[in-house]
Amino acid sequence: MGLFITFEGIEGCGKTTQARLLNDHLNAKGVETILIREPGGTALGEKIRGILLTAEGDATTPVAELFLYEACRAQLVNTVIRPALAKGLTVICDRFTDSTTAYQGYARGLDLASIASANAIATGGLRPDITILMDCAPAMGLGRAIKRMEQAGDEREDRFEREAAAFHEKVRAGYLSIARAEPGRVKLVDAGREIPLIHKDICDIINEIIL
C-alpha cells in the first residue's frame, strides 16, 4: 500500500502550493505520486465543486452542504484514492475529512459525531497516514486568497472567502483542536512564513517517513 498524505488549512494558507511542491519533490526523488483535490478529483466531484465553491451554492443548507462533500469524497476514494494506494503510489490530497470536521462541524455547527459517521461511510474507514496542517491567522489567509483570485481573474470560487471573519476563526480553532487530538497524524506547520521555509519543513516531515 502507498502512503496517503493530506494537506489542510484555512482559506489562503498556502496548502495547494505546498502540496504541489511536495509532489514535485517526491517525483524528483523517484517516488510515484498522484496529486488530487477535494472537492473534485473526479468528473462527478468537479461538477459538485462548481456548486459548493461558487455563488450557486449560497442557498445550500449546512446538512445539504455536508452530503455534497461526502458524495464527492465517496467517489474520489473508491475510484481514485484506493486504487492508487493499492498500486503503491503516494497519494497527496488537497483537503480531506478534516476539512469537513473543521468547516461543517466547528464552523457551521453540525454535530461532530454525525460528521465523523458521515466521513467514515464516505471513505469506507480510510484515513490519512499523515496530515500537514498549514496554520496561519485568518486575516493573513484571506488576504492571500483574495489577492490570488484577483490576479487570476477568478471571482467564482469565493463562496467560503465571503464568509464572516468569525466563521474563519472557528475553522482555524477546529483545525487546531483536531491537531491536539491527533498529534501523531497531524503535523502543524507555521504557514505565515516564506514559501521555501515552509516547503523545507514539510519535506523534512515526509522524508523521515518515505526516504
User: What pLDDT score was predicted for residue 153?
Assistant: 63
As a whole number, mean pLDDT of residues 148-167 equals 76
As a whole number, mean pLDDT of residues 57-76 equals 95
Reading the block at residue 211, the C-alpha cell is: 526516504
Kindly indicate the confidence band of residue 39, based on its pLDDT and cuts at 50, 70 and 90.
very high
Tell me which residue range forms the domain holding 11. Answer: 4-210
Q: Which residues pair with 137 in a beta bridge?
A: none
CA torsion angle 71 76 79 83 (round to 10): -140
User: What pLDDT score was predicted for residue 56?
Assistant: 78
Kindly indicate the confidence band of residue 197, based on its pLDDT and cuts at 50, 70 and 90.
very high
Q: For the chain, percent helix, then strand, then coil, each to nearest 5?
A: 60, 15, 30
User: What pLDDT score was predicted for residue 55?
Assistant: 79
**CA neighbours within 13 Å on the CB side: how many for 102?**
24
Q: Which residues pair with 130 in a beta bridge?
A: 5
In the predicted structure, residue 57 carries a pLDDT above the cut 70: yes
Percent with pLDDT over 70 in the chain:
97
Percent with pLDDT over 90 in the chain:
81
User: What pLDDT score was predicted for residue 156?
Assistant: 62
CA torsion angle 84 69 146 140 (round to 10): -80
**Residue range 80-111, pLDDT digits in tens:** 999 999 999 999 999 999 999 999 999 999 99
* 107: Cβ contacts below 8 Å, ≥ 6 apart: 163, 167, 168, 170, 171, 174
As a whole number, mean pLDDT of residues 44-69 equals 92
In the predicted structure, residue 16 carries a pLDDT above the cut 80: yes
pTM of the model: 0.94
In the chain, how many domains are there?
1
**Residue range 70-88, pLDDT digits in tens:** 999 999 999 999 999 999 9
* Closest to 161 in 3D by CA, of 32, 14, 10: 10
* 181: Cβ contacts below 8 Å, ≥ 6 apart: none
Q: What's the CATH code of the domain at 148?
A: 3.40.50.300
Query: Angle between the 15-28 and 195-210 helix axes, to the nearest 10 degrees?
Result: 50
User: What pLDDT score was predicted for residue 29?
Assistant: 95
